[in-house]
Amino acid sequence: MTVELVIALGALIVSFLGAALNYYKLKEAKKSWAHEQKISMEKEIFFKRLEKRYSLYEKTFALLGSVRDVEYPTEHHVDLEKK
């Protein structure tokens, strides 16, 4: 075997090893990207739930505020003072 042939075979083996390494790197990057996408979707769903919950709280407190504005009869105030 000549030196050029050995060098060419060595370069071929190194290029195949590099291609295999890049394949596994890309596969791992794809897996981590999918995991990050799943986490971001879970966060988005969580924030939508929180937004809905707080809007319900807002409506409830608005109703409570409107109830507080109602004028109660004097008997009600007298009963509260007795307690």
pLDDT in tens, the chain (83 residues): 698 899 999 999 999 999 999 999 999 999 999 999 999 999 999 999 999 999 888 888 877 766 666 677 777 778 888 77
Alpha-carbon span 51 to 43, nearest angstrom: 12
Q: Which of 17, 42, 39, 45 is nearest to 31 (CA)?
A: 39
Which sign does the torsion angle of CA 66, 68, 72, 76 carry?
A: positive
- What's the rounded Cα separation, in Å, for the pair 56 and 83? 33
Task: Give residue 21's pLDDT.
Answer: 92
Cα three-residue angle 58-60-62, rounded to 5 degrees: 70
pTM value > 0.85: no
* Domain spans in the chain, listed from the N-terminal domain onward: 3-82
